[in-house]
């Protein structure tokens, strides 16, 4: 088996982070306890001899683990998990020390973001200039002058620490801001710009180019199409309407609005089309690497972009030195770099979907293509005329299916929505997304050089964007939005275990040339089937007894449960009777645009495992009690 120490290191690093986040104790103590238990058990059983053949034997199967988990692997895993665990515990302690709610603070910092317009103030992110390395959000009244990227400011204001989750499974502002390396918010009373353009030349230049690109896009496109182009090419989805975002999400095509490997792949393709025959392969690769690095700066270093760019650079760089890159090492290097910069990014949904989708394509696309190939060979006589179309379509379907296999539990955990049209929508998107991305980049570049030609290109681009919007309307079809209760972490873990084991077993049973280990596994599975047939009646009775026990436990009356739901202004109470009937008393609400029912109440019910309510009672008809259930 090929050794990948960097892959082992990143797995250990992630385990250490998760231990620090969810258990909040040092993983070193766990390792000490584990090693002590191991040596005690080893000493106690060292003279134990196994008599006869036993199919279920720990000693029999532990030697297979030793082929993969040797001393070197264990050392790397433990070393990196202890490092990341210590970093998370230390940073958590630092954050808690800095949370001082209600204090009046005086801060000097540099603006490191564009403004975000809110109803009553403008929001900026600043990097604080002192001995501590952290950022702040500052809320600046619209009466003040607008700040610019790179401004050095001195301000005074009231510090507000981020809130923790108010409901079970609800939004945790404190954890979200840790992903951004932000320690809280300051409501500014006084602010003074001390100096301009205080960030380094590369960051200032990248920001200026990004702003110029957005200005050009706004000047040559209609407002709705401009917002989509900025999302597709620059990763700026701030101007896209919430309704459009929701349609894309429900139609399972929201990934096109978040820059990822697909966008980077088409960017590389576009560069090669333009430069390959003009400056040669080697120079084209060097130019591509430089453009990719600068593209990361322009688009703001989101995890999915960094992952795709790092993997792209490793692949291209390998070609420059005549070495073939290893896809697993590329994934591991990019992920380790991201988590080393900020371990809390492991909670970022975009990072989770980007990496799991990539892993799914690597693992399952070849398997799905083999299945399609076997199906095609059996019915080839019916597919002769449609063979070329089928060859293209099956690759697109295989990519979509393989990615969906890995990201499905994460989508359910975060969004609780399962769409049944994802294959159709992704197949349709794959027909137009490449021309849109490549043409979009050319359009932006030409807008700086030949603006009339750029405006001419907006016509076919507009047609492509209209087609994307049309695909997103699949979200309005019946059964496009099926609510699913939030799965538990145990269910997600078991799902991934089952998926990986299924992939391994398929590979074993379909491979013509098996390794010695694969042959042993196949023989063991044959032995299990043989023993099951020999004692089939006994096993069936045992499974039936277990099933009856679980059913009996589920129908046993439980205690009455009462949940008080924090919906802001107003009241909301959920009762669950001993017979598992659900009763909702009021639903909260507000006079603002914030949809309490959609963004608070429904997610809470799904996190509790309910997809329907049996009874709803309204105490009175004030908006803060009834609006969310109207």
Q: DSSP letter string over 34-73? A: HHHHHHHHHHHTTT----S--SS-HHHHHHHHHHHS-HHH
- CATH 2.40.50 residue spans of the chain: 104-199
pLDDT in tens, 310-348: 888 888 887 777 777 788 888 899 899 999 999 999 999
**620, pLDDT greater than 60:** yes
- Band of residue 53 on the pLDDT scale cut at 50, 70, 90: low
Geometric angle at alpha carbon 318, from 312 and 324, rounded to 5°: 105
Poorest-pLDDT segment among 2-11, 60-69, 239-248: 60-69
pLDDT at 592: 65
Averaged over 44-69, what is the pLDDT?
Answer: 58
Between CA 596 and CA 600 the distance in angstroms is 5
Q: How far is CA 523 from the centre of its chain?
A: 39
The CB density around residue 429, as the number of other CB atoms within 10 Å, is 24
- Band of residue 51 on the pLDDT scale cut at 50, 70, 90: low
pLDDT at 4: 82
Q: Any residues with CB less than 8 A from the CB of 158 and at least 6 apart, and which?
A: 102, 103, 104, 105, 186, 187, 189
Averaged over 125-144, what is the pLDDT?
Answer: 84
pLDDT in tens, 141-152: 888 778 999 999
* Phi-psi map region of 169: left, alpha, beta (phi>0 left; psi -120 to 50 alpha): left
Q: How far is CA 409 from the centre of its chain?
A: 11
- Band of residue 381 on the pLDDT scale cut at 50, 70, 90: very low
Q: What is the β-pairing status of strands 116-117 and 104-111?
A: unpaired
Between CA 114 and CA 128 the distance in angstroms is 16
Instruction: Choose the most confident range, by mean pLDDT, from 4-18, 385-399, 594-608.
Output: 4-18
**390, pLDDT greater than 90:** no
- Band of residue 61 on the pLDDT scale cut at 50, 70, 90: low
Higher pLDDT, 68 or 605: 605
Averaged over 379-387, what is the pLDDT?
Answer: 51
Q: Measuring CA to CA, which residue among 312, 304, 213, 307 is closest to residue 254?
A: 304
**62, pLDDT greater than 70:** no
Averaged over 460-474, what is the pLDDT?
Answer: 91
Q: Which fold has domain 104-199?
A: OB fold (Dihydrolipoamide Acetyltransferase, E2P) (2.40.50)
Tokens 């690759």 identify what position?
A: 395
**380, pLDDT greater than 70:** no
pLDDT at 383: 47
Mean pLDDT computed over every residue of the chain:
83
Geometric angle at alpha carbon 400, from 394 and 403, rounded to 5°: 135
196 neighbors 150 (Cβ within 8 angstroms): yes
Poorest-pLDDT segment among 290-299, 360-369, 418-427, 548-557: 548-557
Q: What is the dihedral of CA 529, 531, 534, 537, to 10 degrees?
A: -80
Poorest-pLDDT segment among 113-127, 190-204, 377-391, 416-430: 377-391
Percentage of residues in the chain with pLDDT exceeding 90? 20
Q: In what order do the strands lie in the sheet with 615-617?
A: 561-564, 573-576, 582-585, 615-617
For the residues of 184-199, what is the DSSP string, one character each?
EEEEEEEEEEEES--S
**170, pLDDT greater than 80:** yes
pLDDT at 343: 93
Q: How far is CA 392 from the centre of its chain?
A: 28
Poorest-pLDDT segment among 16-30, 150-164, 358-372, 527-541: 527-541
pLDDT at 126: 93
Between CA 135 and CA 147 the distance in angstroms is 16
**43, pLDDT greater than 80:** no
Higher pLDDT, 55 or 9: 9
For the residues of 277-312, what is the DSSP string, one character each?
HHH-HHHHHHHHHHHHHHHHHHHT--HHHHHHHHHH
Q: Measuring CA to CA, which residue among 246, 214, 212 is closest to residue 230?
A: 214
- Band of residue 16 on the pLDDT scale cut at 50, 70, 90: very high
Between CA 459 and CA 424 the distance in angstroms is 26
259 neighbors 298 (Cβ within 8 angstroms): no
106 neighbors 154 (Cβ within 8 angstroms): yes
pTM above 0.75, yes or no: yes
Averaged over 585-602, what is the pLDDT?
Answer: 79
Between CA 503 and CA 42 the distance in angstroms is 33
Tokens 């390959």 identify what position?
A: 276
């Amino acid at each position: 088996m090929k050794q990948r120490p960097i892959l082992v290191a990143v797995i250990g690093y992630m385990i250490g982070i998760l231990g620090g986040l969810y258990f909040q104790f040092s993983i070193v103590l766990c390792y000490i306890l584990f090693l002590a238990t191991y040596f005690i058990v080893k000493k106690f059983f060292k003279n134990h001899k196994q008599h006869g053949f036993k199919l279920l034997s720990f000693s029999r199967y532990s030697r297979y683990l030793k082929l993969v988990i040797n001393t070197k692997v264990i050392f790397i895993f433990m070393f990196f998990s202890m490092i990341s665990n210590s970093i998370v515990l230390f940073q958590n302690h630092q954050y808690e020390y800095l949370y001082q709610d209600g204090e009046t603070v005086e801060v000097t910092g540099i603006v490191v973001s564009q403004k975000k317009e809110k109803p009553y103030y403008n929001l900026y992110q600043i990097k604080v200039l002192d001995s501590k390395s952290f950022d702040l959000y500052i809320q600046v009244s619209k009466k003040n002058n607008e700040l610019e990227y790179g401004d050095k400011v001195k301000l005074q204001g009231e510090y507000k620490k981020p809130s923790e989750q108010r409901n079970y499974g609800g939004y945790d502002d404190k954890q979200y801001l840790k992903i951004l390396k932000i320690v809280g918010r300051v409501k500014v009373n006084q602010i003074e710009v001390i100096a301009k353009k205080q960030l380094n030349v590369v960051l200032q230049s990248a920001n200026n180019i990004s702003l110029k690109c957005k200005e050009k896009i706004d000047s040559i496109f209609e407002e709705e199409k401009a917002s989509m182009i900025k999302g597709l090419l620059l990763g700026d989805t701030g101007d896209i309407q919430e309704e459009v975002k929701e349609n894309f999400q429900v139609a399972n095509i929201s990934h096109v609005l978040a820059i990822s490997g697909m966008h980077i792949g088409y960017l590389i393709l576009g560069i090669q089309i333009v430069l390959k025959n003009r400056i040669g392969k080697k120079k084209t690769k060097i130019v591509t690497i430089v453009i990719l690095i600068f593209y990361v700066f322009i688009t703001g270093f989101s995890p999915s972009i960094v992952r795709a760019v790092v993997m792209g650079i490793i692949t291209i760089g390998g070609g420059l030195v005549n070495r073939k890159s290893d896809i697993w090492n590329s994934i591991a290097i990019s992920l380790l770099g991201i988590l080393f910069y900020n371990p809390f990014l492991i909670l970022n949904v975009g990072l989770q979907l980007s990496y799991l989708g990539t892993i799914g394509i690597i693992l399952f696309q070849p398997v799905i293509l083999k299945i399609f190939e076997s199906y095609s060979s059996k019915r080839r006589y019916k597919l002769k005329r449609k063979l070329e179309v089928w060859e293209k379509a099956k690759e697109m379907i295989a990519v979509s299916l393989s990615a969906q296999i890995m990201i499905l539990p994460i989508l359910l955990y975060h969004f609780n929505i399962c769409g049944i049209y994802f294959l159709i929508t992704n197949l349709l998107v794959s027909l137009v997304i490449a021309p849109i991305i490549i043409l979009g980049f050319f359009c932006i570049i030409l807008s700086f050089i030949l603006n009339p030609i750029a405006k001419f290109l907006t016509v076919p681009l507009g047609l492509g964007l209209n087609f994307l919007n049309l695909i997103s309307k699949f979200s309005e079809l019946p059964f496009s939005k099926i609510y699913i209760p939030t799965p538990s972490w145990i269910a997600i873990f078991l799902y991934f275990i089952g998926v990986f084991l299924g992939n391994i077993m398929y590979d074993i049973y379909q491979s013509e040339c098996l390794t010695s280990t694969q042959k042993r596994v196949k023989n063991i599975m044959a032995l299990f089937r043989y023993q099951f047939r020999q004692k089939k009646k006994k096993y069936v009775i045992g499974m039936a007894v277990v099933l009856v026990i679980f059913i009996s436990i589920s129908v046993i009356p439980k205690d009455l449960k009462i949940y008080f739901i924090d919906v802001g202004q107003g009241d909301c109470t959920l009762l669950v009777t001993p017979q598992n009937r659900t009763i909702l008393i009021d639903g909260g609400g507000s006079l603002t645009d914030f949809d309490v029912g959609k963004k608070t109440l429904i997610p809470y019910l799904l996190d509790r495992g309910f997809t329907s309510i049996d009874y709803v009672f309204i105490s009175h008809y004030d908006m803060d009690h009834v609006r969310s259930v109207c």
